[in-house]
């Protein structure tokens, strides 16, 4: 919300030190997103006096004028306004000035005549809608004075972030109350005298609320014989300061009250409303499914039954709390105005505005809850302002339908000693009472050390005693609370088992040269289709009710698409070698619950190569075995038991390259998968293959990891090495041979290492391959003899051949 300090100073004494004021706001929970100095937008626009005015030699509607702008010499300007004349004062944009819409004034030629500036209308300056001619200033305007200074537009505007639980601060008066509480200063509310005359409103208007839960309160006032036209300067100035465009005096008053009091208003052309029993009849009801309404922006909207409309007996005339209808809007021909001041149910207003894409200042306030207490006073104030700026007569009385009235006060207890102990500071009782009183609470002493607090109706967030503690603490200043250590003997901070696992994973992945990243938890609906990944085991996608855009319409079920987008982003900017990992949450819909189920995952990608090319060699590109090596490092760091990799077929993992994909298992649990991303999947994300990826289940890692590795003593006796080469069918895997040799080798076999794979149709045979292994034998208690090793090796080879159909290659 934008807050004009000049406007705010009408209600409370504003601190002069703007920086200190902004810092204090940040500390009390109101974020300051920006500070703007008004008047800077009108740099180069000054008051000018037209000394001469002659017709353009080559145009029948333009004039050549010389204008005194307070400089040494007058400037020549070509002007097409019909009301330009000698002897008048006008706003002049000199060369170099930038007008609203980023329109820069330059020295130019118009039909052969040099023009060094522009005489401006109100609309060109963004100060109104009048564009019939240039803006003629009064005689007392000082030539050469900056137009911002002349208009009193020199102001400081704060752009504030108001949290959703503080609807009371979405107005000048509400924010003045907050500033008064922050600095212990008195503040005031605007006052206006309402003069009523003529017939009673109830004789001309009737109101019916069909469903009380949709509209807690609705009031209507009637102002007759108004004259719709431009707003007075003071009103235009105030709206312009907070970034609002002046429309006409009636609309400007509704916007003014919206920002001053936080009360959205709507005005109808009374004479366009349908009658019932001789009176204009307003019905607040649910829209019908498929019902149509043309809103003020000229768009025909199709409504649903979840939406609330303001209707007459024949048709809907407005979307409650969101936007009015085109056929009942106030125009220049309007004479009689019906003023709506109401409160609508927040949830439906929020859904309606978002579903129709009609988010406005009014809907923003309604969806955060407008206080229905005091609506009648705000209606009176708005009616008096309309009568002031547009003339007319305010009819007697107010039609007020209030089915949601609740006279029971919200009473809370404030235990002073408990508060002081909880805060860890001896905050004075006088400060507590003064603070809560200035925030609008009713404060009384209920018992010794206990205060009875009546929460104001405009503060729906004050529901519990702890909420009052928070209010006092934030105004007292959390920076003033002394730092203390938590009490308790022998209390030590330790990591949880999950934190221990996370730390080990970060260390292992960093040692592998990988960098941590973070991608969006939102995903596109077709991410899995683009990735070619099967949805089996991933559950249903958790769709977002109000997505930011089509590419982020649901929650992610895998981290890989986000990482592939990061790879594509880096590759498109010339980064060749990319090693990224992310530890994050994936989501899937949970039947019978509105909340999605969550699961933690660890995913990584490797693209390019490890290291840069040197003058005499190029590094090998990442492949499947690099990804497998990362997972083996993780397994070693977490001491995972019985780790093995099982090959995945193209049917099991269509998103991975066939023959370059594997499932990781440990201790009987499936940990995850690793492989090279299929080129078509990489292309779908605009990334260049080859890309190695892996994704592991964090819950499985936490289940299977062990607190420490098994201890192995330093060998005291020498090892004996033997080699064995097996000729096997192409279908026999390295894993199968390893299992056979490990089982047959017994306790003497210490290590097995594959060092060669050889294929040759003539020497090995078609459909065959030779796999050569280096085997290490060692005994823990003695030096092995050649006979022992030969016997163990012969038994191992025999069993491996029998189990796999292998032949020993000579």
Task: Output the 3-class SS for 426-467.
Answer: CCCHHHHHHHHHHCCCEEEEEECCEEEEEECCCCCCCCCHHH
Q: For residues 712-732, give the mean pLDDT.
A: 91
Per-residue pLDDT, 377: 95
* CA dist., res. 178 & res. 278, Å (int): 47
* CA dist., res. 583 & res. 569, Å (int): 20
Task: Tell how far CA 496 is from the center of its chain.
Answer: 31
Helices 786-804 & 734-745 angle (0-180, nearest 10): 140
Tokens of residue 439, six digits: 């925030």
* CA dist., res. 661 & res. 682, Å (int): 15
Mean pLDDT is lowest, of 186-190, 244-248, 548-552, 770-774, for 548-552
Mean pLDDT is lowest, of 38-42, 279-283, 575-579, 646-650, for 38-42
Please report, rounded to a whole number, the percentage of residues in the chain having pLDDT higher than 90. 77
Q: For residues 661-677, give the mean pLDDT.
A: 94
For 554, counting Cβ atoms within 10 Å of its Cβ (0-12 exposed, 13-18 middle, 19+ buried), the class is buried
Residue 121 has, within 13 A of its CA and on its CB side, a CA count of 15
Per-residue pLDDT, 593: 65
Per-residue pLDDT, 181: 96
Summarised one tens digit per residue, pLDDT across range 799-810 is 999 999 999 987
Residue for token pair 């209808």: 325
Say whether pLDDT at 395 is over 80.
yes
Beta strands in 513-596 (DSSP E): 515-516, 522-523, 554-555, 578-588
Q: For residues 434-455, give the mean pLDDT.
A: 94
Q: Which residues pair with 316 in a beta bridge?
A: 311
Neighbours of 730 (CB within 10 A): 10
Q: For residues 369-389, give the mean pLDDT.
A: 95
* CA dist., res. 399 & res. 446, Å (int): 39
Q: For residues 190-205, give the mean pLDDT.
A: 93
Neighbours of 729 (CB within 10 A): 12
**Which of 5, 6, 39, 230 has its CA nearest to residue 147?**
39
Per-residue pLDDT, 129: 73
Residue pair 542/587 in contact by the 8 Å Cβ criterion: yes
Per-residue pLDDT, 27: 92
The confidence band for 412, taking pLDDT boundaries of 50, 70 and 90, is very high
Per-residue pLDDT, 19: 94
Length of the chain equals 810
Tokens of residue 728, six digits: 């096997």
Residue pair 143/88 in contact by the 8 Å Cβ criterion: no
Summarised one tens digit per residue, pLDDT across range 126-174 is 877 777 789 999 998 999 999 888 877 778 999 999 999 999 999 999 9
Say whether pLDDT at 45 is over 90.
yes
Residue pair 366/351 in contact by the 8 Å Cβ criterion: no
Residue for token pair 């940990």: 671
Say whether pLDDT at 697 is over 80.
yes
Per-residue pLDDT, 101: 81
Indicate the Cα dihedral angle 350, 354, 358, 362, nearest 10°: 20
Q: For residues 403-412, give the mean pLDDT.
A: 90
* CA dist., res. 525 & res. 202, Å (int): 54
Q: Regarding beta strands 578-588 and 515-516, do their DSSP bridges make them parallel or antiparallel, or are they unpaired?
A: parallel
Mean pLDDT is lowest, of 99-103, 219-223, 337-341, for 99-103
Please report, rounded to a whole number, the percentage of residues in the chain having pLDDT higher than 70. 99
Tokens of residue 324, six digits: 């009015």
Cα angle 629-631-635, degrees, rounded to a multiple of 5: 115
CA distances to 238, 304, 305, 310, 352 from 290, rounded to whole Å, are 40, 6, 8, 16, 14
Q: What residues contact residue 604 under an 8 Å CB cut-off, 6+ apart? A: 509, 514, 563, 579, 580, 581, 582, 627, 630, 693, 694, 695
The confidence band for 61, taking pLDDT boundaries of 50, 70 and 90, is confident
Mean pLDDT is lowest, of 17-26, 285-294, 555-564, 700-709, for 700-709
Per-residue pLDDT, 485: 73
Per-residue pLDDT, 594: 66
Provide Rg for the chain, Cα atoms.
Answer: 39
Residue pair 124/117 in contact by the 8 Å Cβ criterion: no
Q: For residues 200-213, give the mean pLDDT.
A: 95
Report the run of H or E that residue 209 belongs to, with start and end. strand 205-209
Say whether pLDDT at 41 is over 80.
no
The per-residue pLDDT of the chain, averaged, comes to 92
Q: Cα-flanking dihedrals φ and ψ of residue 3, to 5°? A: -125, 120
Per-residue pLDDT, 348: 94
Summarised one tens digit per residue, pLDDT across range 571-595 is 999 998 999 999 999 998 876 666 7
Region for 399 from its dihedrals, namely left if φ exceeds 0, alpha if ψ lies in -120 to 50, beta otherwise: beta
Residue 84 has, within 13 A of its CA and on its CB side, a CA count of 28
Residue pair 395/201 in contact by the 8 Å Cβ criterion: yes
* CA dist., res. 197 & res. 392, Å (int): 10
The confidence band for 273, taking pLDDT boundaries of 50, 70 and 90, is very high
The confidence band for 490, taking pLDDT boundaries of 50, 70 and 90, is low
């Amino acid at each position: 919300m934008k807050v004009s300090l000049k406007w705010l100073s009408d209600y409370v004494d504003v601190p002069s030190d703007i920086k200190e004021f902004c810092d204090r706001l940040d500390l009390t929970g109101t974020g300051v997103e920006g500070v703007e100095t008004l008047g800077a937008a009108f740099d180069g626009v000054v008051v000018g006096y037209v000394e001469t005015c002659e017709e353009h030699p080559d145009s029948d509607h333009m004039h050549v004028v010389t204008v005194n702008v307070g400089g040494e010499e007058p400037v020549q300007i070509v002007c097409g306004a019909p009301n330009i004349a000698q002897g008048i004062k006008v706003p002049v944009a000199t060369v170099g000035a930038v007008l609203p819409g980023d329109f820069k004034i330059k020295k130019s030629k118009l039909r052969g005549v040099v023009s060094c500036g522009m005489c401006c209308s109100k609309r060109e300056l963004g100060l109104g809608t009048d564009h019939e001619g240039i803006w003629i200033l009064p005689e007392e305007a000082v030539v050469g004075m900056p137009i911002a200074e002349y208009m009193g537009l020199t102001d400081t505007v704060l752009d504030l972030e108001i949290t959703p639980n503080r609807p009371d601060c979405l107005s000048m008066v509400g924010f003045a109350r907050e500033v008064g509480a922050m600095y212990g200063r008195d503040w005031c509310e605007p006052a206006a005298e309402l003069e009523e005359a003529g017939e009673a409103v109830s004789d001309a208007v009737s109101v019916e609320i069909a469903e009380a839960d949709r509209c807690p309160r609705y009031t209507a006032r009637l102002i007759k014989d108004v004259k719709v036209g431009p707003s007075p300067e003071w009103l235009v100035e105030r709206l312009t300061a907070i970034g609002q465009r002046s429309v006409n005096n009636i609309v400007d008053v509704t916007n003014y009250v919206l920002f001053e009091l936080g009360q959205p208003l709507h005005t109808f052309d009374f004479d366009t409303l349908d009658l019932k029993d001789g009176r204009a009849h307003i019905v607040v009801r649910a829209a019908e499914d498929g019902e149509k309404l043309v809103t003020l922006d000229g768009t025909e909207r199709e409504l649903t039954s979840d939406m609330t409309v303001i209707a007459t007996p024949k048709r809907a005339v407005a979307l409650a709390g969101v936007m009015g209808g085109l056929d009942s809007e106030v125009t220049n021909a309007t004479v009689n105005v019906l003023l709506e001041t109401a409160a609508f149910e927040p949830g439906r207003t929020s859904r309606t505005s978002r579903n129709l894409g009609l988010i406005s200042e009014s809907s923003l306030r309604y969806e955060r809850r407008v206080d229905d207490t005091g609506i009648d006073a705000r209606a009176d104030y708005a009616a008096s302002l309309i009568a002031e700026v547009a003339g007319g007569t305010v009819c007697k009385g107010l039609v007020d339908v209030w089915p949601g009235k609740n006279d029971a006060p919200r009473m809370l207890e404030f235990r002073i000693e408990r508060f002081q102990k909880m805060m860890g500071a001896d905050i004075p009782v006088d400060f507590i009472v003064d603070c809560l009183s200035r925030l609008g609470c009713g404060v009384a002493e209920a018992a010794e050390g206990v205060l009875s607090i009546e929460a104001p109706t405009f503060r729906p967030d004050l529901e519990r005693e702890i909420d009052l503690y928070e209010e006092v603490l934030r105004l007292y200043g959390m920076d003033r609370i002394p730092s203390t250590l938590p009490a308790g003997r022998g209390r030590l901070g330790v990591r949880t088992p999950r934190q221990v696992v996370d730390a080990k994973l970060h260390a292992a992945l960093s040692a592998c040269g990988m960098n941590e990243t973070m991608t969006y938890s939102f995903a596109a609906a077709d991410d899995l289709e683009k990735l070619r990944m099967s949805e089996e085991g991933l559950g249903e996608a958790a769709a977002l009710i109000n997505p930011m855009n089509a590419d982020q319409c649901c929650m992610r079920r895998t981290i890989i698409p986000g990482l592939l987008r990061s790879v594509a982003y880096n590759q498109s900017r010339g980064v060749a070698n990319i090693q990224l990992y992310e530890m994050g949450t994936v989501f899937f819909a949970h039947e019978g619950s509105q909340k999605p189920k969550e699961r933690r995952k660890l995913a990584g990608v490797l693209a390019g190569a490890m290291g840069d090319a040197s003058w005499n060699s190029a590094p090998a590109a990442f492949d499947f075995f690099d990804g497998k090596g990362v997972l083996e490092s993780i397994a070693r760091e977490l001491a995972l038991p019985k780790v093995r990799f099982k090959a995945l077929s193209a049917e099991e993992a269509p998103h991975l390259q066939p023959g370059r994909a594997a499932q990781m298992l440990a201790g009987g649990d499936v940990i995850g998968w690793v492989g090279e991303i299929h080129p078509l999947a990489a292309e779908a994300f605009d990334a260049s293959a080859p890309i190695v990826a892996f994704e592991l289940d964090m819950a499985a890692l936490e289940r299977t990891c062990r607190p420490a590795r098994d201890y192995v003593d330093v060998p005291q006796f020498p090892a004996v090495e033997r080699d064995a080469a097996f000729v096997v069918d192409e279908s026999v895997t390295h894993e199968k041979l390893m299992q056979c040799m490990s089982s047959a080798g017994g306790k003497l076999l210490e290590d097995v290492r594959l060092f060669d794979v050889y294929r040759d149709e003539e020497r090995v045979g078609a459909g065959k391959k030779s796999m050569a292994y280096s085997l290490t034998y060692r005994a823990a208690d003695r030096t092995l003899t050649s006979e022992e090793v030969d016997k163990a090796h012969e038994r191992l080879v025999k069993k491996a051949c029998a189990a796999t159909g292998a032949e020993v290659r000579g």
